[in-house]
Amino acid sequence: MDTFSHVLMGLGIGALAQIDPIVADSATLTQAVVLGAVIGSNAPDFDVLYRLKGKGSYFRNHRGLSHSLPALPLWGIIVSGLLYPFFAGTGFLHLFLWTFLAVLLHVLFDLFNMHGTQILKPFSRKWIAFDSIPLMDPPILLLHFLGFVLLLFYQAGITFLIIYVFIFLYLALRTFSTAAAKKHLQEHFIRAVRIKLIPSLALFKWNIIIETDADFLFGVYSVNRLAIEHTLSKKIDFPALVSDSTNNKCVSDFLSGTTFAYPFVVVRKNGYLVYWKDLRFRTKKFFPNLAIMFISSDSKRKNSFIGKINNVKQYRKVLRSLTDSSSSIK
């Protein structure tokens, strides 16, 4: 989920904590818990600091160890431990438990979007994603806003207990509908290697990726109706260049963050451009998340880019930087 959503959930957990009589009876502890919940709800995303080492480092490490099972209690202990000295006389255990719950819900909701997390690190590098909700989910946000309005009239703990019951019922509906949709597609595409559902803002509508031995199919699925919009063949030109590009750090960082990467090569007058696109992020036929490697004709110059390209102007700027400069950009 996005940062704004995590902040709202932190505030929601802070309100829910009023159901705890120890918290409700202490204004100081209430303040500590609200602050701990908001910080804890965002703590796993502190891996944004990897950006200081470059975008490639962030691509490689985001939603990795910081979102793993061993990290969850550690975030709770760290956040609670840093806050506790500023709130004398409060109960550390209660501060920790509500902060830990906020951390836990952050990772839980991240698991249910199409990006997922590497929650099993360091034991496994596998990405786990349940593909149930979009990165920003309006119903979840609206339920939180409704809860904040109701605080003017009702007790905070009970109000947000009911709000979170509805949120989890909604999450369950999303999850079961996604599982049913995937099962229906698998019954019709029995030779598919894998099927990826990308949840949209609409409740029963998904963008889909169907991978076969020969190609990738892209389309939209909604209530047992499927529309295939376009395909990409797995047969690629210049396979040696594509294979060589995986040794490039930017490309390697990019590939570590997705299992739906697709390569293709464009020939230029002064060399080759090797593209790697993340197929999960798509606007019609455009894939904004990508890594690009430029290889000069004499193979002496190899520049690279990793990141998100939002428009044609930015795309042209990136290509100029790659092909006209002797230094790599990241």
The secondary structure of residue 293, as a DSSP letter, is E
Dihedral angle sign, alpha carbons of residues 57, 60, 63, 64: negative
Per the DSSP assignment, residues forming a β-bridge with 307 are: 290
Q: Does residue 327 have a pLDDT over 70?
A: no
Give per-residue burial for 279-292: e unless 16+ CB within 10 Å, then b.
bbbbeeeebbbbbb
Confidence of residue 325 (pLDDT cuts 50, 70, 90): low
Condensed to tens digits (0 to 9), the pLDDT of residues 244-285 reads 999 999 999 999 989 999 999 999 888 999 999 999 998 877
Percentage with pLDDT > 90 across the chain: 76
In the chain, what are the domain boundaries? 3-174, 190-233, 239-324
pLDDT confidence of residue 328: 45
**Rounded Cα distance, 255 and 276, in Å:** 8
Per the DSSP assignment, residues forming a β-bridge with 268 are: 271
Condensed to tens digits (0 to 9), the pLDDT of residues 10-61 reads 999 999 999 999 999 999 999 999 999 999 999 999 998 898 888 889 888 8
* Residue 310 contacts residue 287 (beta carbons within 8 Å): no
Condensed to tens digits (0 to 9), the pLDDT of residues 207-245 reads 999 999 999 999 999 987 999 999 999 998 899 999 999
What 3-state DSSP class applies to 37?
Answer: helix
* Residue 124 contacts residue 104 (beta carbons within 8 Å): no
Q: Does residue 90 have a pLDDT over 90?
A: no
Condensed to tens digits (0 to 9), the pLDDT of residues 62-80 reads 999 999 999 999 999 999 9
pLDDT confidence of residue 227: 93
Report the candidate in 73, 83, 72, 101 with the shortest Cα–Cα distance to residue 29. Answer: 83
Torsion angles phi and psi, residue 208, rounded to 5: -130, 150
> What global pTM score does this model have?
0.89
Per the DSSP assignment, residues forming a β-bridge with 136 are: none
* Residue 244 contacts residue 238 (beta carbons within 8 Å): no
